[in-house]
C-alpha cells in the first residue's frame, strides 16, 4: 500500500531515513507491501521541497550529499522555498504519515510538540525520534492520536532503532513489567569504558568521546545524565504507565567519577555503569539515573563502548535484556522505518 509521507527535519536522522527508503525500496514493496512516497520535506537549514508525485530520493540524496539545499532538487516538483513553516505545511498538505525528526528541546518539547498535534488533528499518523514531546507530553499525544484514530509512535526516542517499544508491544505483550533498567546513553558508557579499559582520566576520555563525535562540544546533557533522564521518563510513561516528569527523576551524572574509583571497583569484581531505572514501588513509579557498580554477572555490565542495553523484569518471563545501538544516522533512521512498517502492518491507512 502507498503511504504519503511528510518529513520535518532533514538533518542526520532525516537523511539516514531517506537513504534507507531509497536502498530498501524493492524489499519494502515486495516483502512488506509498503510503498513510501515522500511528498514534502521542510528543514530550518536546508529549506523546503514539495513534490506531490513523490520525491526521487536518489536525486535528492545526491544534492544533499553535495552539501546543497532542498531548493537544488532537480526532479519534478510543485515548489521549493527557503523555509516553509512546518505548521502551515502540515495543515496544507494531505499525507498519511508525518515523520518528525527535528531537534530535541527537553525543557519545552517545542516546536516539535505543536507539529505533532497539528499532524494528528489533521488526520496523519506521527512517527518521531524526538525525545522532547515523548518525555513531556506522552499521554496527551497518545490520547490525541487515539481520538483521531491515528498512531503516535516513538521507537527512535530510546536506543535509536533498537526495538525497545516493539519488543514491549509484541514479544512481551501480556507481561507485567516490574522494572526496566538500562544503559541509555552511549557517550557516558563510552567514557566509562575508556576509563576502565584504557585507564584514562575522565577529562581525557571525554575529549576522546568529543573527537570521535559521540559527545557534543557542550557535553552536559550526556555526562550529567539529562539525556538519560529524558529517556527514562519516556520508558516510565510509555512502558510502566507512569505520569512522571523529568524533574522528578533522581539524577546523578558521571562527571565526578575518578579513574581511581573505577579501578578499585574493577579490583572488587564490579563495573561502573550509568544506570537508568524505572520501578514500581507500592503502586507508584520511581525513576533514577545514577552511576552504579554492577557485578560482572549482570548482562548490562558486559555492554561496553557506545552501545546501549535495557533489561525488562517481567512477571511471566523473568528478565529479558536487549542490547544494541543507541544512536546513529542509519540506526535512528531505521527507527522511523520500523514505526512506519508497524503502522502499515496495522492496516490503518
Q: Out of 276, 294, 327, 342, name the contact with ligand HSE by CB under 6 A.
A: 327
Task: State the minimum distance, in angstroms, from the CB of residue 131 to ligand HSE.
Answer: 7
Of 191 and 262, which CB lies nearer to ligand HSE in the complex structure? 191
Task: State the minimum distance, in angstroms, from the CB of residue 306 to ligand HSE.
Answer: 7
**Measured between alpha carbons, how far is residue 206 from residues 215, 219, 328 in Å?**
7, 8, 19
The Cα–Cα gap between 247 and 231 comes to 13
* x/- letters, 139..178, toward ligand HSE (CB under 6 A): ----------------------------------------
Task: State the minimum distance, in angstroms, from the CB of residue 187 to ligand HSE.
Answer: 3
Task: State the minimum distance, in angstroms, from the CB of residue 337 to ligand HSE.
Answer: 18
Does residue number 133 form part of the binding site for ligand HSE (CB under 6 A)?
Answer: no
- Binders in 258-277 for ligand HSE, by CB under 6 A: none
Q: Out of 326, 336, 340, 343, name the contact with ligand HSE by CB under 6 A.
A: 326
Of 28 and 206, which CB lies nearer to ligand HSE in the complex structure? 206
The Cα–Cα gap between 206 and 84 comes to 38
Q: Which three cell numbers stand for residue 11?
A: 538533518
- Binders in 181-220 for ligand HSE, by CB under 6 A: 185-187, 214
Task: State the minimum distance, in angstroms, from the CB of residue 26 to ligand HSE.
Answer: 31
Task: State the minimum distance, in angstroms, from the CB of residue 301 to ligand HSE.
Answer: 18
Of 263, 275, 279, 281, nearest in space to 300 by CA = 275
Does residue number 224 form part of the binding site for ligand HSE (CB under 6 A)?
Answer: no
Catalytic residue among 68, 231, 243, 279: 231
The Cα–Cα gap between 88 and 55 comes to 20
Long-range Cβ pairs for the range 194-201 (8 Å, 24+): 195/257, 195/259, 195/262, 195/272, 196/262, 196/263, 196/266, 196/271, 196/272, 197/304, 199/259, 199/263, 200/259, 201/258, 201/259
Query: Is 46 noted as a catalytic residue in this protein?
Result: no
Q: In the sheet where 270-281 sits, what is the strand order?
A: 250-251, 284-295, 270-281, 177-183, 308-314, 318-324
Of 36 and 326, which CB lies nearer to ligand HSE in the complex structure? 326
DSSP 36-104: EEEEEEEETTTEEEE-TT---HHHHHHHHHTT--GGG--S--SEEES---HHHHHHHS--SEEEE----
| Half-sphere exposure of residue 109: CA atoms within 13 angstroms, side-chain side | 21
Quickly count: other Cβ atoms within 10 Å of residue 34's Cβ: 21
Residues 6+ positions from 62 with CB-CB distance below 8 Å: none
Quickly count: other Cβ atoms within 10 Å of residue 328's Cβ: 16
Does residue number 222 form part of the binding site for ligand HSE (CB under 6 A)?
Answer: yes
Number of residues engaging ligand HSE in binding (CB under 6 A): 8
Of 113 and 187, which CB lies nearer to ligand HSE in the complex structure? 187
Of 86 and 225, which CB lies nearer to ligand HSE in the complex structure? 225
3-state secondary structure of 295: strand
Of 56 and 255, which CB lies nearer to ligand HSE in the complex structure? 255
Of 36 and 225, which CB lies nearer to ligand HSE in the complex structure? 225
Does residue number 227 form part of the binding site for ligand HSE (CB under 6 A)?
Answer: yes
Residues that bind ligand HSE (CB under 6 A): 185-187, 214, 222, 227, 326-327
Catalytic residues, by residue number, are 231
Amino acid at each position: 500500500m502507498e503511504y504519503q509521507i511528510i518529513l520535518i527535519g532533514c538533518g542526520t536522522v532525516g537523511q539516514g531515513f531517506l537513504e534507507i527508503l531509497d536502498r530498501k525500496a524493492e524489499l519494502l514493496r515486495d516483502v512488506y507491501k509498503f510503498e513510501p512516497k515522500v511528498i514534502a520535506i521542510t528543514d530550518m537549514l536546508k529549506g523546503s521541497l514539495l513534490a506531490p508525485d513523490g520525491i526521487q530520493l536518489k536525486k535528492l540524496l545526491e544534492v544533499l550529499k553535495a552539501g546543497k539545499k532542498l531548493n537544488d532538487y532537480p526532479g519534478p516538483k510543485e515548489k521549493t522555498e527557503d523555509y516553509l513553516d512546518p505548521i502551515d505545511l502540515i495543515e496544507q498538505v494531505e499525507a498519511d504519515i508525518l515523520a518528525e525528526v527535528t531537534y530535541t528541546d527537553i525543557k519545552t518539547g517545542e516546536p516539535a510538540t505543536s507539529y505533532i498535534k497539528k499532524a494528528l488533528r489533521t488526520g496523519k499518523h506521527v512517527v518521531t525520534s524526538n525525545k522532547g514531546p515523548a518525555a513531556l507530553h506522552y499521554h496527551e499525544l497518545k490520547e490525541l492520536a487515539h481520538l483521531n484514530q491515528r498512531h503516535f509512535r516513538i521507537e527512535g526516542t530510546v536506543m535509536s532503532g533498537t526495538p525497545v517499544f516493539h519488543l514491549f508491544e509484541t514479544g512481551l505483550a501480556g507481561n507485567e513489567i516490574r522494572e526496566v533498567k538500562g544503559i541509555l546513553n552511549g557517550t557516558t558508557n563510552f567514557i566509562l569504558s575508556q576509563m576502565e579499559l584504557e585507564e584514562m582520566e575522565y577529562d581525557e576520555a571525554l575529549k576522546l568521546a568529543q573527537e570521535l563525535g559521540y559527545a557534543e562540544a557542550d557535553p552536559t546533557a550526556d555526562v550529567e545524565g539529562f539525556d538519560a533522564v529524558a529517556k527514562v521518563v519516556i520508558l516510565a510513561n510509555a512502558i510502566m504507565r507512569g505520569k512522571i516528569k523529568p524533574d522528578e527523576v533522581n539524577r546523578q551524572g558521571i562527571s565526578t567519577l575518578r579513574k581511581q574509583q573505577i579501578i578499585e571497583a574493577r579490583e572488587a569484581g564490579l563495573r561502573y555503569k550509568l544506570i537508568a531505572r524505572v520501578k514500581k514501588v507500592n503502586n507508584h513509579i520511581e525513576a533514577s539515573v545514577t552511576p552504579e557498580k554492577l557485578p560482572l554477572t549482570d548482562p548490562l555490565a558486559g555492554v561496553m563502548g557506545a552501545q546501549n542495553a535495557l533489561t525488562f523484569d517481567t512477571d511471566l518471563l523473568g528478565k529479558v535484556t536487549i542490547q544494541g545501538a543507541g544512536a546513529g544516522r542509519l540506526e535512528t533512521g531505521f527507527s522511523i522505518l520500523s514505526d512506519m512498517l508497524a503502522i502499515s502492518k496495522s492496516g490503518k491507512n
